[in-house]
Amino acid sequence: MDFSSYNFLKFKRNGRILTVTLNNPESLNAIAREPHREIARVFAEITADEESDVIILTGAGKAFCAGGDLEFMEECIRDPSTFNTVLREARTIINCILDCDKPIICRMNGDAVGLGATLALFCDIIIANDSARIGDPHVRVGLVTGDGGALIWPQLIGYARAKQYLLTGDLINAGEAQQMGLINFAVPASELDDMVNTWANRLANGATNAIRWSKATINTGLKQLAGTIMDTGIAYEGMSSQTEEHRAAVAAIRARQNVKAS
């Protein structure tokens, strides 16, 4: 696997364990054009990587991923064709994650928001810093949660709770997320690496083929759902990206940031 072709993502090997780090801590690993492109291709390359059996996905700095970059949202509003590309990549991201038969552990070192939450929740084992929060606030910026949230949240916590959080955009602390079954573990920051490493080594030392094929079998149902739900969600998100609701929400956030900066 050619790591040199990536700028936003950082890679580290430890035996058969490959750690992939979202690496733009100054922006809380927010997703703009180039990071989105890299994420859209990395999971297929990870799947084909012959030197790894287990993947750890994490973020640099104090956040896992803050979701969409505000300036990039503004760019997409000005140029709808840019957002159309993002939507095509969104389908690729989900399909490639589901096609990856290697176990993926999310080391949720901090907040996972929007697409960040989607990336975390499509991992196989999710281990969070107990001070972290997770949520999908697409609706708060006037967008439909079309990039995978509408698919994965109901499967993990049921439709009633999924609607509660996806229709409000409320964030959930890691402890509560663990209790409701949204994530696997919430641990103190001082224990995060030990827990992640324990699980990574356990899976790396397990029956590789049985683990991979079991994951592939489990994901069959999700892939069937993705075939219908993702197309609907992407279409609606594309429509919502051109509404006055979305433009006004982004402008309001920008205005609040400018006030704070001054």
Instruction: Give pLDDT, residue 258.
Output: 81
- Is the residue at 255 inside a domain? no
Could you tell me if residue 228 is inside a domain? no
Residue 99 is part of which domain span? 3-208
Here the CATH number for the domain that contains residue 143 is 3.90.226.10
Below-70 pLDDT ranges, the chain: 262
Residue 250 lies in a domain: no
Would you give the distance in Å from CA 158 to the centre of its chain? 19
Q: How many folded domains does the chain comprise? A: 1
Flag whether 238 is in a domain.
no
165-216 pLDDT, tens digit per residue, is: 999 999 999 999 999 999 999 999 999 999 999 999 999 999 999 999 999 9
Looking at residue 259, what is its pLDDT? 73
* Within-domain flag for 222: no
Q: What does pTM read for this prediction?
A: 0.96
Model pLDDT for residues 79-103, shown as the tens digit of each residue: 999 999 999 999 999 999 999 999 9
Assigned domain for 226 exists:
no
